[in-house]
Every structure is written in C-alpha cells, then in structure tokens.
C-alpha cells in the first residue's frame, strides 16, 4: 500500500468513527438528563 493511499483512507475512517462517537456522546447526555428529571 502506498503512503498516499494510506493517508487518504485513514481520515475517512476517522471521520466516520468520530461522527459515531459524537452521536453516542449526545445520546448518553440526553439519557442522563432524562434520568435526572
């Protein structure tokens, strides 16, 4: 695998992964908020 190919595929995977992490983060915050009420 070339360096350029590796460099292009990692950011795409990382962005996809971080988007899921953000969704889980907000979902858990919402659940905590609902439990408090």
Res 25 pLDDT > 60:
yes
Confidence of residue 8 (pLDDT cuts 50, 70, 90): low
How high is the mean pLDDT of the chain? Answer: 75
Give the residue from 3, 26, 23 showing the smallest Cα distance to 15.
23
The first and second tokens of residue 8, run together, are 């292009």
Note the pTM of the prediction, 2 decimals. 0.42
Q: What confidence tier does 33 reach under pLDDT thresholds 50, 70, 90? A: confident
Nearest 5 degrees, angle CA 24-CA 30-CA 36? 135
Residue 11 per-residue DSSP state: H
Rounded CA gap, 34 and 37, in Å? 5
- Residue 34 banded pLDDT, cuts 50, 70, 90: confident
């Amino acid at each position: 695998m070339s360096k350029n190919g590796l460099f292009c595929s990692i950011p795409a995977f990382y962005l996809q992964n971080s988007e899921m992490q953000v969704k889980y983060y907000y979902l858990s915050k919402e659940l905590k908020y609902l439990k408090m009420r």
